A = this chain, B = another copy of it.
């Protein structure tokens, strides 16, 4: 009830100006922590890494899903941006998506907690945005022979999911090599950019 008897060493309250900075720090920390310890890493580790109070974490991201989705959102946005350039091919986009999966591990993982729970609606939206971006390059990829004949947008998305899911289980060092093998098996050309 009372609490806060002392008063010594709290971190300075940086004030509202810090809000945006804090949010960004939390996302960066989450990226790191999730990459290191998996997507069910303790959230307080994220707050600590971000140099931010526990409460701020919860203010910005009321639950773990919100945090994961924000991370995922960033990735999808990046893909969309890149897709603005008409020169960019499906292989390029898949490459970026793969890069994200390699680096962040979070993607799909744990976007729904238990296998039984329906996927979060916000996730569905992100899927659609991804589908749109990738789909817009499919025709040309077909023409160029970068994917097998008859491949649909759904097929591409399914491929992304399979690759991402498989990467989740791999140690970081192997992921890139592994991803390349997986895409080859799927018969889709990808150009994974360096980090």
Chain A positions within 8 Å of B, measured between CB atoms, are 1-7, 16-17, 19-20, 23, 35-38, 40, 59-62, 66, 69-70, 105, 108-109, 111-118, 155, 158-159, 161-163, 165-166, 168-172, 181-182, 185-187
**Sample of 20 more A-B contacts, CB < 8 Å, known A118-B171, A165-B169:** A1-B70, A2-B61, A3-B23, A4-B19, A5-B20, A6-B20, A7-B16, A37-B114, A37-B115, A38-B113, A105-B115, A109-B169, A112-B169, A115-B170, A116-B172, A158-B185, A162-B162, A162-B166, A165-B165, A186-B186
What chain B residues lie within 8 Å of A60 (beta carbons)? Answer: 1-3
Task: Kindly state the separation between the CA atoms of A48 and B158 in the bound complex, as whole angstroms.
Answer: 38
Within 8 Å by CB of A171, from B36, B37, B115, lies: B115
Write the chain B residue with the least CB distance to A110. Answer: B169
Task: Kindly state the separation between the CA atoms of A112 and B38 in the bound complex, as whole angstroms.
Answer: 11
With most chain B CB atoms within 10 A of its CB, the pick from A161, A162, A182, A187 is A162
